[in-house]
Amino acid sequence: MTIGSVVGAYIPLLWGDSALSLSSVILSAVGGFVGIWVGFKLGN
pLDDT over 90 (residue 42): yes
Q: What is the pLDDT of residue 41?
A: 94
pLDDT band at 23 (very low <50, low <70, confident <90, very high): confident
Q: What is the pLDDT of residue 4?
A: 87
pLDDT over 80 (residue 19): no
Taking the C-alpha atoms of residue 12 and residue 25, their distance in angstroms, rounded to an integer, is 10
Q: What is the pLDDT of residue 33?
A: 93
Taking the C-alpha atoms of residue 17 and residue 35, their distance in angstroms, rounded to an integer, is 23
Q: What is the pLDDT of residue 18?
A: 79
Query: What is the pTM (predicted TM-score) of this model?
Result: 0.77
Taking the C-alpha atoms of residue 32 and residue 44, their distance in angstroms, rounded to an integer, is 19
